[in-house]
């Protein structure tokens, strides 16, 4: 349950404001690939795909976005601020004792944040449970999206979730893997093949191409969970 309610802003911003919003947290005007690898994916989800309303962050019919890769959440907070979920005034406090904006997000402290994350390998399994729950509640409309990193797939918990979701055809589940080639041992045969072998629908797109991302996120995938691999520049 969300217990705190940091003042929402009624003002919303566009894509071009995201670097300025991130600067309020990082102090840097320029952000390297590590800080921005998820930025376009997050922006496209919140701008074009997700049915979410900052005025009603707990509406039962909302889409659920579960940020699994909770490390480096500046892009996430910037997008939430741009879309009116959190007040821009909170951003400079990033990481402070009294700030609801930690270096890993906490759902209890922030409206619109569906899960607390940080430890890798939890978002996708939680998303499986959430998708099953929406199905059991006869809520066919809300979709569940989760964002994971390619290195995060090293965690075995993901593979319990990938195999199970594919086996039961969890159609309302969507996973986006932001692939910056950071997995230490890589993925033989590619990430998409790993999911496809377990019965997922898969798309691989340029992780900075907004139109391609939006099309991939909304592509039909009847009877199967859906994977989008968003390829970005390799982590230096």
Partner 1 sequence: METMRERFIATATELLDTDARLAVVLADISTAQFAPAAARHPDRVINVGIREQLLISVAGGLALAGLRPIAHTFPPFLIERPFEQVKLDLTHQDVGVVLVSSGGSYDMASMGRTHQSPGDVALLDTLDGWTIHVPGHPDEAEALLRDAAGTDGRVYLRLSSEANPRPRPAPSGRFEAVRTGTAGTVLAVGPMLQPVLEATAGLSLTVLYATTIRPFDARALHQAASAAQAADVVLVEPYLAGTSSHQAADALADRPHRLLSLGVSPTELRRYGTPAEHAAAHGLDPASLRRRITAFLR
Which residue from 105, 43, 38, 97 is spatially nearest to 70, judged by alpha carbons? 105
- Min dist CB 213 to partner 1, Å, is 25
Element (H, E) at 25: helix 18-26
| 197 lines the binding site for partner 1 (CB under 8 A) | no
| 140 lines the binding site for partner 1 (CB under 8 A) | no
Strand 173-179 and strand 226-231: the pairing is parallel
Pick from 10, 136, 185, 188: which binds partner 1 (CB under 8 A)?
A: 136
- Map tokens 């690898």 to a residue: 37
Which residue from 219, 179, 6, 27 is spatially nearest to 109, judged by alpha carbons? 6
Tokens of 212: 């391609």
Only one of the segments 6-14, 17-25, 38-46, 154-162 lies at the binding site for partner 1 (rule: CB under 8 A); that segment is: 154-162
| 161 lines the binding site for partner 1 (CB under 8 A) | yes
- Min dist CB 100 to partner 1, Å, is 14
Pick from 31, 107, 208, 210: which binds partner 1 (CB under 8 A)?
A: 107
**For the residues of 98-126, what is the DSSP string, one character each?**
T-S--SS--TTTSTT------STT-HHHH
| Closer to partner 1 by Cβ: residue 52 or 213 | 52
Pick from 61, 119, 140, 218: which binds partner 1 (CB under 8 A)?
A: 119
- Min dist CB 128 to partner 1, Å, is 6
| 133 lines the binding site for partner 1 (CB under 8 A) | yes
Determine the Cα–Cα distance for residues 117 and 68; give it in Å rounded to an integer: 6
**For the residues of 193-223, what is the DSSP string, one character each?**
HHHHTTT-EEEEEETT-HHHHHHHHT---TT
Which residue from 137, 230, 116, 138 is spatially nearest to 175, judged by alpha carbons? 230
Tokens of 109: 């402290």
| 129 lines the binding site for partner 1 (CB under 8 A) | yes
| 182 lines the binding site for partner 1 (CB under 8 A) | no
| 160 lines the binding site for partner 1 (CB under 8 A) | yes
- Number of residues near partner 1 (by CB under 8 A): 30
- Window 51-80: residues binding partner 1 (CB under 8 A): 60, 64
- Min dist CB 123 to partner 1, Å, is 9
Q: Site residues (CB under 8 A) for partner 1?
A: 1, 60, 64, 107-108, 114-116, 119, 122, 125-137, 156-157, 160-161, 163-164, 167
């Amino acid at each position: 349950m969300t217990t705190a309610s940091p003042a929402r802003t009624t003002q919303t911003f566009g894509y071009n404001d995201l670097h300025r919003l991130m600067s309020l947290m990082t102090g840097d005007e320029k952000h390297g690939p590590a800080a921005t690898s998820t930025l376009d994916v997050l922006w496209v989800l919140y701008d074009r795909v997700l049915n979410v309303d900052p005025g009603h962050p707990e509406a039962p019919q909302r889409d659920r976005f579960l940020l699994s890769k909770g490390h480096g959440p500046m892009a996430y907070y910037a997008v939430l601020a741009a879309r009116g979920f959190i007040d821009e005034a909170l951003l400079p406090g990033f990481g402070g004792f009294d700030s609801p904006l930690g270096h890993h997000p906490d759902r209890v402290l922030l409206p619109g944040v569906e899960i607390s994350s940080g430890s890798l390998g939890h978002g996708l399994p939680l998303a499986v449970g959430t998708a099953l729950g929406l199905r059991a509640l006869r809520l066919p409309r809300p979709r569940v999206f989760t964002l994971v990193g390619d290195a995060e797939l090293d965690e075995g918990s993901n593979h319990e979730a990938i195999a199970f979701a594919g086996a039961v055809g969890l159609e309302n589940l969507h996973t986006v893997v932001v692939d910056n080639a950071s997995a230490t041992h890589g993925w033989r045969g590619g990430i998409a093949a790993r999911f496809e072998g377990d019965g997922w629908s898969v798309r691989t797109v340029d992780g900075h191409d907004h139109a391609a991302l939006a099309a991939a996120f909304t592509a039909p995938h009847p009877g199967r969970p859906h994977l989008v691999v968003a390829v970005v520049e390799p982590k230096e």
